[in-house]
Amino acid sequence: MSDERAALPEVYQATLDGETLRGLVRDLCAAAEVVEVLTKARAQARGEPAPGLLGLLACVEALEAGDIQGLQIRYRFEGALWLDTLMKRPHGIALTRMRALEG
């Protein structure tokens, strides 16, 4: 059991305002390879794929506008695969980030 816990990735969490969210998107577009973007329209809905970087930009706009509840972004940065989950909350956008397990 302790070996399994050691293998789990660290989880990072933050609350983003609009300016910080747009900065995150700029950074992803400039320095990362976006692999997949999934949107979540409702609490009980499954994620739906969105196409590429244009999909990412449109999804972030939809998230800020409240048209979708959340999105998940898989991206490669400096050789590692990462997973960011963004959820609309009353006080801002909740970000949960973790390095994705590969293999």
Per-residue confidence (pLDDT) for residue 84, from 0 to 100: 97
The pLDDT profile of the chain, 103 residues, written as one tens digit per residue, is 455 555 788 999 999 999 999 999 999 999 999 999 988 876 555 555 555 445 788 889 989 998 889 999 999 999 999 999 999 999 999 999 999 987 6
Token readout for 56 is 């990412």
Per-residue confidence (pLDDT) for residue 73, from 0 to 100: 95
H helix or E strand, kind and range, residue 30? helix 18-31
Rg, Å, the chain Cα set: 14
- Distance (Å, whole) CA 17 – CA 25: 13
- Distance (Å, whole) CA 2 – CA 49: 35
Per-residue confidence (pLDDT) for residue 103, from 0 to 100: 60
